[in-house]
Amino acid sequence: MKVALLAVGNEVLTGKTVNTNASFLAKEIEDIGGKIVHQQVVLDELDAIAEGLKTAYEHADVVVTIGGLGPTVDDLTREGVAQYFNVPLIYDEEVYKGICSYFEKMKREIPLNNQRQAYKMDGSLILQNNNGTAPGLFYEADGKVVILLPGPPSELKSLYYESVQPYFLDQIKERKIKRSYRLCGIGESYAEEKIIHLYDKFPHLNIAPYCSIDYVDYIVSTVEEHEDELQRFEDVFKSILGEHIIGSIETEIDDEIVALLKEKSLTIATSESCSGGLLSSRLVNVSGASSVFLEGLVTYSYDSKMSRLNIDSKRLMAFGAVSEEIAHDMAKNLAEMTHADVSVGVTGIAGPNGGTELKPVGLVYIAINVKNKMFIDSYIFNGNREKIRQRTVAQTLYLLYKYIKAL
């Protein structure tokens, strides 16, 4: 089923608003087996909307419009669609009652101009909007289908799931299925290298990697008849990359770490230099972290390393703040001070200055003490100051996950 998207409105056209509605709809519709073949953004003018529909129907049989259903005079999508199909707009008392009850629920007065939203193309179906005043509309004529959705993302999304997705699910015969895998502690190209041969081996699967600072995600989809192949792929994929898979794309590693700590009745404390509190902040952001997270120290200066973490000044001078030894001491002293089961010491050079040939910008030492067993790793991360700090935290979280899980 070929689908085209038509966004209406100057805010998107002039770049004030990024067209995330279009990417949302495209992704959702493609995910269930529809095919997006064309996208447009047009001016909120009658002729532009009608022209846009004409162009869209040259590519697709179903057009989803985005926006232009509001109460103000520049909201013209209904009128533009009516003009294209040459069909009158009629007033729908039921819709108006729905709008009124929405305002009553919000305990607000009903503005007069909202009456405009009670008009629909003659013969169209109303798609109830529970999050706003503008209902969606569904209209079919001459073998062409148009679905009108409102622009505010929360309204568009809920209307899509409630009314539009069921329609597409009914119409699209070849149903898609998909699985996703979230990887940590491995770069995109390194992961890709390890599984590149699977692309040929599983010809009916669509294997798509997505990379962010924290994760490499693989989304793998196919049609229902190849579910066996998807299962076989999963087995091989897990045998190759299993140690890096933390769950599906819904999984957040911070949540997993806090959950593991709770499950194993362990406490944690952190000491950070270059990451400056980013690590503790990630753990504290998990609701309920208070039952496992004891404290965090951001010992950014030499002085604070000595006074707060009792780092030996001679060792600090001998090895330098960014060294395996000091990372070790940070984690070890912290464990002694706090009696935390898991303690972390992170020290590195985030740049842009402070690097030397021996210790370049991006060099980071991560020490993790788990029940008196010390693991120390070193890395050289690339990117600017912010990226190096984010990569440091991403890697530390992965190591925490791995070591705590192995307990």
Q: Which of residues 314-353 bind its own copies (CB under 8 A)?
A: 337-338, 351-353
Closest by CA position to 177, among listed 241, 122, 220? 220
Q: Say if CB 121 and CB 139 are below 8 A apart.
A: yes
Residue 26 makes contact with its own copies by CB under 8 A:
yes
C-alpha–C-alpha distance, residues 362 and 177, integer Å = 41
Residue 20 makes contact with its own copies by CB under 8 A:
yes
Residue 356 makes contact with its own copies by CB under 8 A:
no
Residue 13 makes contact with its own copies by CB under 8 A:
yes
Closest by CA position to 30, among listed 64, 81, 69? 64
Q: Which of residues 31-50 bind its own copies (CB under 8 A)?
A: 36-43, 48
C-alpha–C-alpha distance, residues 85 and 143, integer Å = 12
Residue 116 backbone phi and psi in degrees, to 5: -55, -30
**Inter-axis angle of helices 227-241 and 188-201, nearest 10:** 140
β-partners of residue 407 are none
Region near its own copies per CB under 8 A, out of 97-105, 138-146, 279-287, 398-406 = 279-287
Region near its own copies per CB under 8 A, out of 113-121, 156-164, 234-242, 272-280 = 272-280
Number of H helices, E strands in the chain: 15, 17
Q: Say if CB 349 and CB 361 are below 8 A apart.
A: yes
Minimum CB separation of residue 265 from its own copies in Å reads 15
| Selected binder of its own copies within 76, 159, 257, 278 (CB under 8 A) | 278
Q: How many residues bind its own copies (CB under 8 A)?
A: 69
Tell me whether residue 88 or residue 111 sits nearer to its own copies (CB atom): 111
C-alpha–C-alpha distance, residues 281 and 346, integer Å = 14
| Selected binder of its own copies within 127, 289, 326, 367 (CB under 8 A) | 289
Residue 51 makes contact with its own copies by CB under 8 A:
yes
Closest by CA position to 99, among listed 113, 117, 112? 117
Tell me whether residue 43 or residue 46 sits nearer to its own copies (CB atom): 43
Residues contributing to the site for its own copies (CB under 8 A): 12-20, 22-28, 30, 36-43, 48, 51, 55, 58, 208, 210, 270, 272, 274-281, 283-285, 287-290, 293-301, 303-304, 307-308, 337-338, 351-353, 385-386, 389
